[in-house]
């Protein structure tokens, strides 16, 4: 009973493998050049944008999507991917563009300079900055809290169940650039880094703290719409100097100010026609981005509605991108 079955199985596997190769055509199958099965449905030209998990990135994508769809006649798919995998997806052509990158030197070298599968597409016009922040209502009570040397004095204010006996420094998503563990260590602070695990969790917690005006210390970044809801002040860390963050374990300085960059898939950049040209020209300001972000995250408009509102009121800005 065993034998015939096994040979049947082999035959089945062999025949299904044969069928598979027939179906997909013979020869090499390079899956790194393969689009999403949902793309180009019903004969439309499709652009796939990578949307990172933070709202600022959603705003870029929403406005780009709105203009591509309504002014240039494309169909736009968005995929939410974390930063590093997004580079990988971009190099493979699974997505066509990343509109906001916070600096990934290793990936840039690998994909842009060595493999040439990704092309630079200029700056977004927004400058990003990461830092440690405390709520402004706390600064009013303790004005000297914004210097890192005084943080230990206030550690007991920031104690939570998760941080044990130390003060809590809340970090966010695992995908973000952070040196906080090393910083706490190297600056010899009496703090414990607690990872919220996602930005959504971090924002929810910050809002809950702010509702009761409780003290908190958090890793945060600008531009971010949450500043409008919960005013926060940056804590001064030892100043950033070029190269002071070269060795991740020995970092003892603040984070740099990063001009955010756009990247396109190399093939798309060359053959993407109007869409690629538009995305290369796409450039706006921090205020513009925040305006859209706030509509999405706070007024709970859908990204598409928020984009429409912004587009309707900023015609001169986006006209330049289309020319």
Q: Which of residues 31-50 bind other proteins (CB under 8 A)?
A: 31-38, 41-42
Is residue 23 involved in binding other proteins (CB under 8 A)?
yes
Question: Which positions from 165 through 184 interact with other proteins, judged by CB under 8 A?
Answer: 170, 173-175
State in angstroms the smallest separation of the CB of 120 from other proteins.
20
Q: List the one residue from 11, 18, 44, 84 that touches other proteins (CB under 8 A).
A: 84
Stretch that binds other proteins, among 138-146, 183-191, 263-271, 292-300 (CB under 8 A): 292-300
Q: Measure the CA–CA gap between 52 and 200, rounded to whole angstroms.
A: 12
Q: Label residues 51-64 b or e (16+ Cβ within 10 Å = b).
A: bbbbbbbbbbbbbb
Instruction: Decide: 255 and 131 in contact? Cβ < 8 Å.
Output: yes
Site string for other proteins, 199-228 (x = CB under 8 A): xxxxxxx--x--xx----------------
Alpha helices for the chain (secondary structure H): 2-24, 55-70, 83-92, 105-107, 136-141, 180-186, 199-211, 226-229, 266-271, 273-281, 286-297, 303-313, 315-322
Give 8-17's long-range contacts (Cβ < 8 A, gap of 24+).
none
Stretch that binds other proteins, among 128-136, 160-168, 179-187, 272-280 (CB under 8 A): 160-168
Is residue 323 involved in binding other proteins (CB under 8 A)?
no
Residue 126: CB atoms within 10 A of its CB come to 22
State in angstroms the smallest separation of the CB of 160 from other proteins.
7
Is residue 249 involved in binding other proteins (CB under 8 A)?
no
Is residue 22 involved in binding other proteins (CB under 8 A)?
no
Is residue 60 involved in binding other proteins (CB under 8 A)?
no
Provide the pairing of β-strand 232-235 with 118-135.
antiparallel
């Amino acid at each position: 009973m065993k034998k015939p079955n096994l040979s049947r199985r082999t035959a089945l596997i062999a025949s299904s493998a044969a069928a598979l190769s027939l179906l997909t055509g013979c020869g090499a199958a390079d899956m790194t050049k393969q689009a999403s099965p949902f793309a180009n449905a019903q004969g439309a030209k499709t652009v796939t944008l990578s949307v990172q998990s933070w709202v600022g990135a959603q705003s870029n994508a929403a406005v780009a999507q709105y203009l591509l769809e309504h002014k240039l006649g494309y169909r736009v798919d968005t995929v939410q991917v974390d930063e590093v995998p997004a580079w990988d997806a971009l190099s493979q052509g699974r997505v066509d563009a990343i509109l906001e990158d916070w600096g990934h030197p290793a990936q840039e070298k690998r994909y842009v300079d060595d493999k040439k599968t990704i092309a630079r597409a200029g700056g977004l016009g927004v400058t990003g900055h990461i830092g440690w922040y405390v709520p402004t209502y706390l600064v009013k009570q303790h004005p000297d809290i914004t210097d890192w040397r005084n943080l230990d004095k206030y550690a007991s204010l920031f104690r939570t169940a998760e941080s044990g006996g130390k003060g809590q420094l809340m970090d966010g998503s695992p995908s973000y650039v952070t040196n906080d563990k090393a910083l706490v260590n190297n600056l010899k602070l009496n703090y414990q880094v607690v990872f919220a695990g996602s930005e959504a969790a971090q924002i929810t917690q910050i809002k809950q703290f702010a509702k009761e005006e409780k003290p908190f210390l958090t890793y945060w970044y600008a531009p971010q719409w949450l500043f409008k809801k919960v005013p926060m002040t940056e804590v001064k860390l030892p100043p950033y100097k070029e190269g002071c963050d070269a060795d991740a374990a020995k970092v003892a300085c603040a984070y740099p100010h990063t001009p955010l960059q756009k990247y396109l898939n190399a093939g798309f950049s060359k053959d993407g026609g109007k869409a690629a040209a538009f995305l290369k020209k796409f450039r706006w300001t921090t205020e513009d981005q925040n305006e859209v972000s706030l509509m999405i995250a706070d007024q709970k408009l859908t990204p598409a509605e928020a984009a429409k509102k912004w587009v309707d009121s900023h015609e001169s800005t986006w006209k330049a991108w289309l020319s």
